[in-house]
Structure 1
Amino acid sequence: MKITGESGAVLRLDDVHRTYGTGPEAVRALRGVDVEFARGGFTAVMGPSGSGKSTLLQCCAGLDRPDSGRVTLDGTDLSGMGETELTVLRRERIGFVFQAFNLVGSLTAEQNVGLPLRLAGRRPDPAQVRRALAQVGLGERTGHLPSQLSGGQQQRVAIARALITRPRMLFADEPTGALDSASSRDVLALLRDLVDREGQSTVMVTHDPVAAGYADRVLFLADGRIVDDLPRPTAQQVAERMTALETAA
């Protein structure tokens, strides 16, 4: 049975399988995943180590190709696309935020945010870049280097950089993993606000039940399969289900 979101889907996976290696050493990272992600929704993905979370995210974002099955983003089937087409799609329709901020140390916040446009051969509009930084609460820090910003502020710059192309999907892989608790709350509140205010479709992989509690729903993976789907989660509910999964594993 397909796991569905509560509104129209912006992203769909149909019977997606992904195996690494061959023979007895083969690792079946995804085993027939069927799932939809709602447009304008915030989904957290959790599971024990080795459950397939990162592979799921990579297949969703076109960074990895399933062995079989289909991934459809905003009506486009990724399975039939070549590497050049996928690169363009990722550049124009997908935003990424990672645990490591991946900012260029010699560039200002404003220059880091405009970098995806320059890589796409487009000259950044300074007003657009400043709006993106203001959107994440850094309108007064446009000229600061990463070394002059806190960890939480650097992650906000990374989020502004991910949003500058107005992506259909924002993927966040452990976005608070390198932050202290106060900065984590700020970043999670920002992601929540982007969903509520801007309708930004977001998928976040996390190990943190508190972080997952900011999402609209939590998908739980185990052994490459989606084993649970928790709507309107609380941190306590997420922690209890994760404990049960880890005990079973």
Structure 2
Amino acid sequence: MVELEAVTRRYGKNTALDAVTVAFARGTFTAVMGPSGSGKSTLLQCAAGLDRPDAGRITVAGQDLTGLSERRLTLLRRERIGFVFQAFNLLPALTARQNVGLPMRLAGRRPDRATVDRALAAVGLADRAGHRPQQLSGGQQQRVAIARALVTRPAVLFADEPTGALDTNTGRDVLRLLRDLVDEHHQTIVMVTHDPAAAAYADRVLFLTDGRLSGSLSAPTASAVIEMMAAA
């Protein structure tokens, strides 16, 4: 679903990504880990078309991002890519239903209520559609953000520290939801996290060090992730 071939990204004299080659298969859940400054957020941003690499090739759902105009890149992100971040980024004046329908409005389309309600039902919030963010818990707000990311049926969902602002129990609920999206709906998810317990929900963990892939772990457990990080 997503392929990076020899992707390099520099910021001044700093090389954030150094000829990284990696692929993310359809219907899989991958966690990306590494110390601060290792390049994990840059990898996510380049793979999602939010940042352009200095060298290399990126393909999302069969579409080569190289050379795409800003307009075509924006359309691709809007239609084929979903984003979930640590900050929920919900508009406080809008209800959950209106927040979820926002990507359709930004695309110049009238939100289809049935589609929006299906997205809310998929994250367990069918009975909270008329609630505004301040009427929802942190975990519920993140679920609304996930529903908003899913409403366009993206080829891939990128999540950057999606449980970073949540307590342990609420974060676990959100991670179970992401796991269910992969298992039941074959959603492709790539998640940046610093938390070994969160990474254990993934099918695979990739480790970055100084902008390079330094290891991977399949069928991870939290203890195995901790051991891998300690050995790096």
Q: Normalization by structure 1: what TM-score?
A: 0.92
d(CA) in 1 for partners of 2:115, 2:3: 30
1:12 corresponds to 2:3? yes
- RMSD value over aligned CA atoms? 0.5
The residue aligned with 2:118 is: 131
**1:64 aligns to what?**
51
1:35 aligns with 2:22: yes
* Correspondence for 1:166: 153
Find 2:67's aligned residue among 80, 92, 102.
Answer: 80
Alpha-carbon shift at residue 244 of structure 1 (Å): 2.4
User: Structure 1 residue 105 and structure 2 residue 92: aligned?
Assistant: yes
Measure, in 2, the Cα distance between the counterparts of 1:150 and 1:95: 22
Instruction: Specify the alignment match of 2:198 in structure 1.
Output: 211
Within the candidate set 182, 202, 208, 2:169 is matched to 182
Shift of 1:142: 0.3
Paired residue for 2:220?
Answer: 233
C-alpha deviations, 1:21-40, integer Å up to 9, x for none?
1xxxx110000101010111
Does 1:244 find its partner at 2:231?
A: yes
Question: Once the 2 structures are TM-superposed, how far is the Cα of residue 54 of structure 1 from its aligned partner?
Answer: 0.6
Q: Which runs of 5+ in 1 are unaligned?
A: 1-9
Return the offset for 1:156: 0.1
Please say if 1:151 is aligned against 2:138.
yes
User: Tell me, what secondary structure is at the counterpart of 2:27?
Assistant: coil
Q: Deviations over 1:182-239 (max 9, x none)?
A: 1001000000000000000000000000000000000000000001011100010011
- Residue in 2 aligned with 1:5? none
- Say whether residues 1:197 and 2:184 are aligned partners: yes
Instruction: Please state how far the C-alpha of 1:243 moved relative to its aligned partner.
Output: 2.1
Distance in structure 2 (CA, Å) of the matches to 1:183 and 1:239: 22
| Distance of 2:84 and 2:220 partners within structure 1 | 22
Match of 2:209 in 1: 222
Alpha-carbon distance between aligned partners in 2 of 1:138 and 1:191, rounded to the nearest angstrom: 15
After the TM superposition, which segments of 4 or more aligned residues of structure 1 sit over 4 Å from their partners?
none
Report the CA distance between 1:127 and its aligned residue. Answer: 1.1
CA deviations over 1:130-169 (Å, ceiling 9, x no partner): 1110110000000000000000000000000000000000
Distance 1:125 1:58 in 2: 29
- AA of the residue aligned to 2:221: T
Query: For each residue in 1:56-114, what CA deviation from the matched residue of structure 2 results, as whole angstroms up to 9, or x when unmatched?
Result: 00000000011000001111110120101100000000000000000000000000000
Aligned length: 232
Q: With structure 2 as the length reference, what TM-score do the two structures score?
A: 0.99
Secondary structure in 2 matching 1:227: strand
Distance (whole Å) between structure 2 residues aligned to residue 73 and residue 82 of structure 1: 15
Distance in 1 separating the partners of 2:10 and 2:116: 40
Partners in 2 of 1:106 and 1:39 — Cα distance? Answer: 36
Find the aligned partners of 1:198 and 1:161 in 2 and give their Cα distance.
16
One-letter code aligned to 1:209: P
2:165 counterpart SS class: coil
Whole-Å separation in 1 of the counterparts to 2:61 and 2:77:
12
